[in-house]
Amino acid sequence: MENQSEIICRFCGSKIERDVYFCSNCGKQLRDKPLSTTLFRKMVAYAVSFFLPPFGLYYAWKYLRAGDYESKKVGVISIILTAISLAITIWLTAGFVNSVYQSINELNSLNI
């Protein structure tokens, strides 16, 4: 009877432990490693999402594709932070452009 903690590698046919990511005999990848959800990795993803908004979508995509709940949560938070940052950037840019436009109009009215 086969041990329940072992499986057969689909590439080389050798017996390997069930929870490994690579075959110890042929070295082929058997399954994807889960993404790291340590505090440091989360902080990097959140900082990039907020301070460099377009690049936050990379982290969102990467973590949303992962299978576990914690990774998906990091992906959703990255999307939210990216959206908030983009909204703030657009609002500040619109205010700046409006201010410059008003200054130009005031200068034009003084020269007439």
43 and 63 assigned to the same domain: yes
50 and 96 assigned to the same domain: yes
Could you report the per-residue pLDDT of 29-39, keeping only the tens digit for each? Answer: 887 777 778 99
Yes or no: say if 58 and 46 are a contact pair by the CB < 8 Å rule. Answer: no
Count of domains for the chain = 2
23 and 60 assigned to the same domain: no
Residue 48 and residue 89: Cα distance in Å, rounded? 14
R_g (Cα) of the chain, nearest Å: 26
Q: Which domain does 73 fall in, by range?
A: 34-111
Could you report the per-residue pLDDT of 42-60, keeping only the tens digit for each? Answer: 999 999 999 998 999 999 9
Yes or no: say if 74 and 42 are a contact pair by the CB < 8 Å rule. Answer: yes
47 and 6 assigned to the same domain: no
48 and 13 assigned to the same domain: no
Could you report the per-residue pLDDT of 57-70, keeping only the tens digit for each? Answer: 999 999 998 878 99
46 and 92 assigned to the same domain: yes
